[in-house]
Amino acid sequence: MSTVTKVSNIHGVSVEYNQPLGLFINNEFVKSSDQEKIKTFNPSNGEYIVSFYAASEKDTNLAIDVAERAYCSSWSNTTPNERSELLDKLYHLTKKNRELLGTIETLDTGKPFHSNSLNDIDQILEVIRYYSGSCDKLTTGETFITENNYHRYTVKQPYGVVGLIVPWNYPLAMAAWKLFGCLAAGNTVVIKPSEHTSLSLLYYGKLLVEAGLPPGVVNIIPGYGEITGRAIAMSDKLQKLSFTGSTRVGKLMMEMSGQSNMKDVTLECGGKSPAVVFRDANLDNAASWIATGICYNSGQNCTATSRVYADKNIYNELISKIVEEIKQNWKISSTFDPFDDDGTLGPIINNTQYDRVTDFIHVGSHIEKLNRIDIFKELGECKGNYINPVIFTDVPQTSVLIQNEIFGPVLTISKFTTYDEVVKLVNDSRYGLAAAAFTEDYRLAHQFTKEVEAGTVWINSSNDECIGMPFGGFKMSGIGRELGATGVESYLQTKSVHFNLR
């Protein structure tokens, strides 16, 4: 099998491109050492797309060795200006290929092309531009005034070779969050996309070459988590690992770091993000943001506003407004084609995740016997993994639907009476990635931001990340931060220097 294949006739969209299938090592697409391949399918219709090569442990170690040589031989000596110029070239190449990259994302993930995939690419452009401008603005450290005859200061320097593991829900966007800050800091990279959604990042390897990236600086190695991901996490040559994915696997990443060389670990894991709607809130605004928070990317979002707590006085009105908001703005395409602009809700990524989401819906409906609102009629016959949004009301805090991350368009709504009561409910979770509150009382809002246990808090909005702000979680939602200045600093380590001047 070649390391490149031609893909065309995508849902009737007039596009044809050459899809890389090989591992991207040392600026070349190569076959895996054991010839192992992974089949990928279109979740909107179940159709087979292509098979790409999967990295073995041997391939992973080779990629790490290549990245290490690239760092030691040349990349560690690049200037901030040189790295900035490279990222700037990538910005323009990404912008030039915006629609093609969005097309590949839609093909591989089922994301609606117009309302989702292109938005993801636009955010990637923001990320590249931010980190392109950050390269020559990194602080070098601090100088300390201590006793006479001593000069003491800190410097920050790259780790060297960094391992990055990205999830399937935002294949290229999550890669961008990690990759460009890592490069701006001066590291070389071995990055593993999800085995479910590797196509867009593999294609991006072509843009890295076109931009003039030196061989070995970025190596893209798709593969299975238990093989490729494990080999990255267990490598003694990596001093830094950044992982985004499930909490279960995040814990394994920490274990493997400890079992190997105690590499520094950044984790962005699961979430069960609450939205609190107080009595004085603008309900139209709250309903709009909540609907977007649970429906965008088909609810496959760690910060999805999947559990809502509403003041008992506005509870029924809010439910009606959320139902109407979803009915008006969040629909599956009538043709089940994510390239049609009449659809804003795509399919669930694969059969396993589809079964997981439908199992939660079954438990809520038939085991816990919760009140259920079906906003749309049952889907007609379709081949894709589509699920219409479902709302469960009057959900007790003990429900498995509140305590677990579902990762689909499933919303729970519960009522509260007092502020103290709702803060306790919000914090009654092992997750702490994000939270939202809707109120016109800014004293109350500030109090909420202080007391809620979450790494990101939105007031009167939800899921509107800012590239310049750090992002990460409390509790079992993760360790460390991405984006903003911390998106570079997390890929730098601090060294203390002591000069004896006597």
DSSP symbol at 213: P
Q: Which of 105, 195, 268, 325 is catalytic?
A: 268
Cα–Cα distance, 332 to 347 (Å, whole number): 8
Q: Which residues contact 492 (CB under 8 A, 6 or more apart)?
A: 138, 156, 157, 158, 159, 185
Token representation of residue 125: 């452009």
Contacts of 105 (CB under 8 A, 6+ apart): 111, 117, 120, 121, 171, 172, 200
SS3 string of 286-342?
HHHHHHHHHHHHHHCCCCCEEEEEEECCCHHHHHHHHHHHHHHHCCECCCCCCCCCC
Among 475, 5, 422, 457, which Cα is nearest to 202's? Answer: 5
- The answer to whether 482 is a known catalytic residue is no
Contact 5, 29 (CB under 8 A): no
d(C-alpha 50, C-alpha 35), whole Å = 15
Name the CA radius of gyration of the chain, rounded: 23
Q: How far is CA 127 from CA 87, 94, 466, in A?
A: 10, 11, 10
Strands 161-165 and 188-192: parallel
Residues with active-site annotation: 268
